[in-house]
Amino acid sequence: MATKFLGTYDPNAVTLSISGRLVSGFFDGTFISVKRSDSENYKTHVGARGEVSRTKNNDTSGQITFTLKGTAPDNAFLDLVKQLPNTFPVMVKNNSDGKFVAVASQAWVMTDPDKEFGVEESGVEWVLMCADLNKSHLS
């Protein structure tokens, strides 16, 4: 008999580490997203007579997008990091049920985030470009 309970997700168990520093002060809603620049594992080619072949896609680049509260101290840290000429390691990890990890050894701040002011606190969206993004669901 199959079990009906799949597990528990805890947003507090999700961490983002940039160059060894744990980032904090995430905005509400979707606060981190991880995606490959090209999510196809293989490219398909069909010949003139219908012969099919595939080519492994070796593009491991991708983006990690996250939103911090406007008052988060790590916005100042990221303002410093975005000026650096060298790349840095980054890791996203979910330690709750349905474990997940994404790592890159070569990342950089891709965009200078916009800043908004209003009657309520707004978020600051940061985008990291990763040259070698690897992601995996863990058991």
What is the residue extent of each domain of the chain? 11-40+53-137
Sign of the dihedral through C-alpha 137, 67, 30, 128 = negative
First to last CA, the chain: 21
pLDDT at 139: 79
* CATH class of the domain at 11-40+53-137: mainly beta
**Rounded to an integer, what distance in angstroms lies between the CA atom of residue 125 and that of residue 60?**
23
User: Per residue in 36-53, pLDDT tens?
Assistant: 999 999 999 999 999 999
User: Which residues, at least 6 apart from 54, have a Cβ–Cβ distance to it below 8 Å?
Assistant: 42, 43, 44, 45
pLDDT at 60: 96
pLDDT at 96 over 90: yes
Task: Please state, in angstroms and as integers, the Cα–Cα distance from residue 101 to each residue in 25, 65, 70, 97, following that order.
Answer: 20, 15, 26, 12
pLDDT at 112: 93
Q: How confident is the model at residue 132 (pLDDT cuts 50, 70, 90)?
A: very high
**Residue from 13, 42, 18, 6 nearest 109 by CA:** 18
Mean pLDDT of 54-66: 97
pLDDT at 15: 97
pLDDT at 1: 61
pLDDT at 2: 72
